[in-house]
């Protein structure tokens, strides 16, 4: 199977490329700059020039493809989200692709929550569902890999603090990106999977103190959980990346704060999914936090994916 991969150069795209190749499928990375993977471990992946905001470009890129697998950037303009969804749907429809698989990268509420980033995801889902192609929406919870990114790992390794914008009793079915990729590949490979939306997460629903306890046991370090307000988290992220603690409206930091304000305000956590629910549709069994954490180096504060990610972005 030839799979057109959208979002191939990011953290979420890398494990998908690996999983597709391991499954005997042929990923074709749709890139605005076809040289973006040169010099990375994915330099051998076939590429095609494509612009997600241009319908003709997307239709051309999907020519000869059996399916489309998409990781998409969060945008803070619903018109842009609608355009992405419409162009993916047009590409699938025009080329008769067998299935479109879209990873939402977050929980998707059933109604508007006032966050253009999340609400726009529902517009994308609607467009894909109306494409005439078979489709599967993979709705992940929260990524374990967030713990090893440059905005989190140094605090865990150097200070013994796992800081996150979750209230102390917010349960989360943390999932690693490799498992997200595995669910996407299974959705692509299984012709009997009905079109629909599928929530995926890790096998445990954990609060922050439980996450810290597992990290402590695996790393051999004493790690504590610090519950941040979403606004403090967004300000710290902005300071780290931009040099300013001021969170600009419609920025990714503002968007993350909107997400976690809503998550924390719900009477029941929307970030929980049970193994039984996933087993109804998928054979893949996601890793526990302890199993994933044991694969990480908790003595090195660096983000292990940074070099590959930056190599792709700089070209």
pTM: 0.95
Phi (first) and psi of residue 290, to 5 degrees: -65, -40
How far is it, in rounded angstroms, from Cα 291 to Cα 276? Answer: 19
Distance CA 251, CA 238 (A): 9
pLDDT tens digits, residue range 19-38? 999 999 999 999 998 888 98
pLDDT tens-place values along the chain, 315 residues long: 999 999 999 889 999 999 999 999 999 999 998 888 988 889 999 999 999 999 999 999 999 999 999 999 999 999 999 999 999 999 999 999 999 999 999 999 999 999 999 999 999 999 999 999 999 999 999 999 999 999 999 999 999 999 999 999 999 999 999 999 999 999 999 999 999 999 999 999 999 999 999 999 999 999 999 999 999 999 988 888 889 999 888 788 888 899 999 999 999 999 999 999 999 999 999 999 999 999 999 999 999 877 766 665 544
Cα dist from 2 to 6, 79, 99, 139, 306, whole Å: 13, 30, 11, 23, 28
Residue 310 has a pLDDT of 65
CA distances in angstroms from 309 to 9, 104, 139, 143, listed in the order given: 7, 20, 23, 17
pLDDT given at position 275: 97
Q: What is the pLDDT of residues 127-170, one digit of tens each?
A: 999 999 999 999 999 999 999 999 999 999 999 999 999 999 99
Domains parsed from the chain with CATH numbers? 2-143+175-202+272-289+302-313 (3.40.50.720)
Report d(CA 48, CA 64) in Å as an integer.
12
Q: In this structure, are strands 196-200 and 99-103 parallel, antiparallel, or unpaired?
A: unpaired
């Amino acid at each position: 199977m030839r799979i057109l991969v959208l979002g191939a150069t990011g953290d979420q795209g890398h494990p998908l490329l690996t999983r597709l190749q391991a499954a005997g499928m042929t990923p074709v990375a749709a890139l605005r700059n076809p040289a973006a993977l040169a010099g990375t471990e994915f330099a051998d992946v076939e590429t095609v020039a494509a612009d997600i905001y241009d319908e003709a470009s997307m239709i051309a890129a999907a020519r000869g493809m059996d399916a489309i697998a998409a990781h998409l950037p969060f945008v803070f303009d619903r018109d842009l989200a609608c355009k992405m969804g419409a162009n993916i749907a047009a590409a699938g429809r025009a080329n008769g692709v067998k299935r479109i698989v879209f990873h939402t990268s977050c929980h998707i509420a059933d109604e508007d929550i006032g966050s253009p980033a999340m609400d726009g995801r529902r517009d994308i889902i609607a467009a894909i569902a109306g494409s005439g192609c078979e489709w599967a929406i993979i709705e992940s919870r929260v990524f374990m890999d967030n713990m090893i990114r440059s905005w989190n790992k140094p605090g865990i390794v150097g200070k013994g603090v796992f800081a996150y914008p979750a209230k102390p009793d917010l349960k989360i079915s943390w999932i690693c990106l490799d498992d997200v990729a595995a669910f996407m590949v299974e959705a692509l490979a299984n012709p009997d999977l009905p079109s629909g939306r599928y929530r995926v997460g890790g096998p445990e629903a954990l609060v922050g103190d439980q996450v810290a306890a597992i990290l402590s046991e695996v790393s051999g370090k004493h790690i504590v959980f610090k519950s941040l307000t979403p606004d403090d988290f967004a300000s710290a992220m902005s300071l780290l990346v931009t040099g300013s603690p001021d969170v600009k409206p419609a920025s990714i930091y503002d968007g993350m704060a909107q997400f976690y304000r809503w998550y924390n305000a719900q009477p029941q956590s929307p970030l929980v999914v049970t193994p039984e629910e996933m087993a109804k549709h998928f054979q893949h069994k996601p890793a526990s936090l302890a199993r994933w954490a044991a694969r990480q180096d908790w003595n090195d504060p660096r983000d292990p994916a940074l070099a590959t990610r930056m190599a792709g972005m700089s070209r």
